[in-house]
Structure 1
């Protein structure tokens, strides 16, 4: 019965929206899961996590498997203890921070295509109303999408990502993470080995530190789009662990 299964909540990352899960959601729905893919506001780690925690508290009942991609991994790490009955975490090409760590700090020295001295060589920056001092919206330059973010997707798909990307505030990447939910909640991690945004060595280190069940796939930063079956299998395994 559908109500015997955990609810699956999928949290997108930066430069994306809930449509980044389009290859994953229909198969899970066909298997009887309730799947929810809320917006991630991409404004700051504390406020983004608080929003997702509030969403979990109000929109779910019973056990939850909480899934995060990229920056969404940092969000679920901070949101999972704040609302809902989260029983498992799934990280897809995601940040898995420990307390006090920042996205920028984790990327430093990793070889990431985004860890550059001048961010405007890979990002386009634009102000937005109400932005804190020094904050701006960051968009991936089209060439960054094509070469480093989604290089294993067909060119039309890369062009679509570049055109429809949802920007993230620079503030989100410099906010220290809080106490991590992965210390007390079991986790799974899908790691694209050809990821140029979060290089594989960094992802392995974070996933191993979290004690995650790890699956690697020959894929870019958007493995849930290019190789959705791997993400599906990880979500299924996490769901099966919820008794």
Structure 2
């Protein structure tokens, strides 16, 4: 009888802790950047969010494989003190769809991102509704992909100054073909609330595909007139969506 009471007490305390964790304010933001870019483009959006009281961390995943990128994201998530909003741009959306199962994650934000369902990959989704920019090149070894620097301004960040896009092209992280072809398992957006930003002038992901994926996932959708680099060209608007998602995830 005593053991039964002790067991019930432990279960009760555990349930209270779980409730408290769920009800706690979401002050942590973890961002997973997309392929053919690195995390530096999130500098202004990060500064805006930090001025609003959030703790922001950018995952610099290797893009060597989807499994490697999920592991890199989980390493950062495991270091967060409390509930966290997980944000993914472009290919980063594929990563957060899997990494979003982490217990620290309170919600998901897709920024001009892929939102795959079970069994889908970036490649299968991109092929279903091709984008208007198709200037992807292979590295000499045939294992990695990159965006032609000459086409980078037009295809990735047409609404940014040319000196910025030139630097972004030079700093882009090449993506392994394996990352783009890897199929996801059960998507975290089925179990957790999600938000999505559709970049209406996107040439890297077809905007209609962004809308369809977000509607399928039941995400709260915000449309912003911007290029694929909406996080850099419209950082205030992107920060507004992320802040609203964090506030709503805290309820």
TM-score (norm 2): 0.86
The aligned residue for residue 150 of structure 2 is 143
CA distance in 1, matches of 2:55, 2:132: 36
Give per-residue Cα distances to partners, 1:87-117, cap 9 Å, x unaligned: 11111000000010011110114131466xx
Does 2:47 align with 1:33? no
Deviation at 1:62, TM superposition (A): 1.2
* 1:15 aligned counterpart, secondary structure: coil
Give per-residue Cα distances to partners, 1:28-83, cap 9 Å, x unaligned: 111221111121221111221122123212x11211000010000100010011x3
Deviation at 1:5, TM superposition (A): 4.0
CA distance in 2, matches of 1:28, 1:74: 23
CA distance in 2, matches of 1:194, 1:219: 5
Q: Is the CA contact (8 Å cut-off) linking 2:26 and 2:85 kept in structure 1?
A: no
CA distance in 1, matches of 2:133, 2:67: 22
Alignment of 1:214-233 (within 5 A): 214-233=221-240
CA distance in 2, matches of 1:75, 1:186: 16
Give per-residue Cα distances to partners, 1:107-145, cap 9 Å, x unaligned: 114131466xxxxx5324143xxxxxxx61212101321
RMSD: 1.6
Alignment of 1:1-243 (within 5 A): 4-57=25-78, 59-81=79-101, 83-113=102-132, 122-127=136-141, 136-241=143-248, 242-243=250-251
TM-score (norm 1): 0.88
Task: Please list every run of 5 or more consecutive structure 1 residues that lacks an aligned counterpart in the other structure.
Answer: 116-120, 128-134
Q: Is the CA contact (8 Å cut-off) linking 1:60 and 1:84 kept in structure 2?
A: no
Deviation at 1:240, TM superposition (A): 0.4
Q: Is the CA contact (8 Å cut-off) linking 2:38 and 2:172 kept in structure 1?
A: yes
Deviation at 1:154, TM superposition (A): 1.4
Larger Rg: 2
Bigger proportion of residues as helix: 2
CA distance in 1, matches of 2:26, 2:105: 13
The aligned residue for residue 131 of structure 1 is none
CA distance in 2, matches of 1:43, 1:5: 30
